[in-house]
Every structure is written in structure tokens, then in C-alpha cells.
Amino acid sequence: MSFIPLPPGSSLGMATERSDAARNRERLLAAARELIDECGAEGLTMNQLAERAGVGKGTVFRRFGSRAGLMLNLLTESEADFQARFMFGPPPLGPGAPAAERLTAFGTERISYVLEFGDLLLAAEASPHHRLDVPAAVLAQRHLQMLLEAEGIQEETWLLAGALAATLDPERLLHAVRVHKVAPERLQGSWRQLVARLVRN
């Protein structure tokens, strides 16, 4: 008799998932991409998705928690990519350039990223318990904070970084581009200006 009933997966704590679960996740992700191709991200419904993937609705929600969770999942790859670029990639976005230039690069690159994945990002933001606590957002804000500190700013760098992050909010950027027909280059220009004015000594 084992007092601690060992988890059934690997011998150390079940990091694996059951094979049917894995299969269903693949199906769901594939179906989701199909549907988004066909109807756009905002047109995807969870019922549709379940049906298309040939699974029950409960399965969809167990896997992803919510609609926003699904969208987040679809974004993980590109988000990880972006993170890797600003943390380990070549300058001026990655380490090696002066902090001010990295700040500028961060914004312009982020703007491009947001415009590329717009609908998905929008759909992912409808998170029930807070889009601002999503790991990628926290990481980005800490990165901004670090760059501000590297530029010699000392007070309230966390909040200042939050202010900068707010400027890059997908909803706002997409609103400017789609409703007000602002060219992406102008957004990037105004970011450059904002950063330049903030960090000049």
C-alpha cells in the first residue's frame, strides 16, 4: 500500500498529459486556426470550434480555460519569439545597444508586432481576470523598467514603464490605424518622440 498515491504519468510528478488529451489539443488548435482563417478571430465561437474539432464543448474549456485563453495559446509561439528577440536577439532591440536605442527599438518593433497579430491580440485581451497580469505583459513591462533605469531614471520606474506599456496597448494602436487611418510609421514616429523626450538628459 502506498500512502502517497503516485501520479500515473512519469515517475516524477506527471508533467505529461494523457495521449487522448494531447491528440485533442492538436485537433483543437488546428481547428481554431482553420476557423480564424475563415471567419476572423472575433468570428470564432467556442461551439463551432468544438464541433469542428470533433470534441465536446467541455473539452475545449478544460484545455484552454476560456476563449481568451485559447487566443493566448495561439499567440504563445509568436510572443515567445518576440520575447527572445528583445531579450537575447541582436541590437538595437536586444542587448548591446544603448538603453535609449533599445527603448526606441522595443516600441517600433512592438507596434509592428501588434499590427501583424491585431485581431488575435484583441480577442486575447477579453481575459476574465486580467490582461495586465499575463506573463508576457509583465515581462515586457519589467524590460521597459530595466531600460529606463539603465537610462538613469530612478523614481517610480515601474509605473513609468507601465505608462509606456499603455502607449503600446493593442486596442489603442489598432484603433488609431483602423479607425483613424494613422499610418504605422506615424505611430512609430510618435513613440520615438515620446522616448526621446522622456530619456534625454
Partner DNA sequence: ATAATAAACGGACCGGAGTCCGTTTACACA
Partner DNA sequence: TGTGTAAACGGACTCCGGTCCGTTTATTAT
Question: Site residues (CB under 7 A) for DNA?
Answer: 5-11, 14, 17-21, 23-24, 44-47, 54-59, 61-63, 65-68, 128
55 contact choice in DNA, its own copies, none (CB below 5 to 8 Å, kind-dependent): DNA
Q: How many C-alpha atoms does 167 have within 13 Å on its Cβ side?
A: 23
Q: By three-state DSSP, how is residue 171 classified?
A: helix
Distance CA 144, CA 157 (A): 9
Taking CB under 8 A as the criterion, the residue among 163, 170, 181, 184 binding its own copies is 163
Taking CB under 8 A as the criterion, the residue among 132, 135, 142, 185 binding its own copies is 132
- Closer CB to its own copies, 113 or 191, in the complex: 191
Q: By three-state DSSP, how is residue 21 classified?
A: helix
- Closer CB to its own copies, 136 or 176, in the complex: 176
Residue 142, interface with its own copies (CB under 8 A)?
no
Distance CA 131, CA 138 (A): 10
